[in-house]
């Protein structure tokens, strides 16, 4: 009878968790690959649950922030479960902001400033309040006006 595989140690779990919650694109890509193919990571017992961007829009003004919110939830929930949240919160929030800025960089230069404005607002909400639920409709409306004005100016120059 074969012996069961050795259980994942707390240090191994923390090491993988840390590698998936850094500010870099490669960290995000590693986490996203694991999210899509969770089976190899099952023994780590990660909490993959998410409410995406809480009560704030996941895709404000069409900007796709949902996966950035998902990774942020992943970091918050898993660091809380191992009692290491306070020591890592600032980095998790910074990684969230970098994820959102990478999303914004994929949009046209015309609307990118509005996207960056929303990314900053979402980052400030998690940094200060611990949740994007603090984002107000007025914040989204301000970015919507910025986006509409930019699109209007671009249309006039074309």
Pick the closest to residue 104 from 60, 39, 154, 156 (CA basis).
60
In sequence order, the 6+-apart residues with CB closer than 8 A to the CB of 86 are none
For residue 7, give Cα distances in angstroms to 25, 31, 43, 78, 134. Answer: 29, 21, 7, 18, 39
The active-site residue, picked from 72, 97, 139, 147, is 72
| 72 a catalytic residue | yes
How far is residue 48 CA from its own chain's centroid?
Answer: 13
Pick the closest to residue 94 from 143, 28, 12, 46 (CA basis).
28
Residues taking part in catalysis: 72
């Amino acid at each position: 009878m074969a012996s069961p595989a050795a259980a994942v140690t707390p240090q191994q779990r923390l090491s993988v968790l840390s590698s998936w919650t850094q500010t870099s694109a490669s960290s995000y890509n590693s986490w996203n690959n694991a999210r899509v193919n969770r089976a190899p990571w099952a023994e780590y017992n990660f909490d993959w649950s998410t409410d995406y961007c809480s009560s704030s829009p996941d895709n404000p003004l069409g900007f796709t922030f949902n996966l950035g919110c998902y990774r942020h939830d992943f970091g918050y929930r898993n660091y809380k479960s191992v009692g290491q949240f306070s020591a890592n919160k600032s980095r998790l929030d910074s990684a969230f902001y970098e994820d959102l800025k990478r999303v914004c960089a994929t949009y046209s230069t015309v609307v990118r400033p509005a996207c960056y404005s929303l990314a900053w607002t979402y980052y400030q909400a998690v940094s200060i309040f611990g949740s994007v639920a603090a984002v107000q409709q007025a914040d989204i409306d301000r970015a919507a006006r910025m986006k509409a004005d930019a699109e209007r100016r671009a249309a006039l120059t074309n």
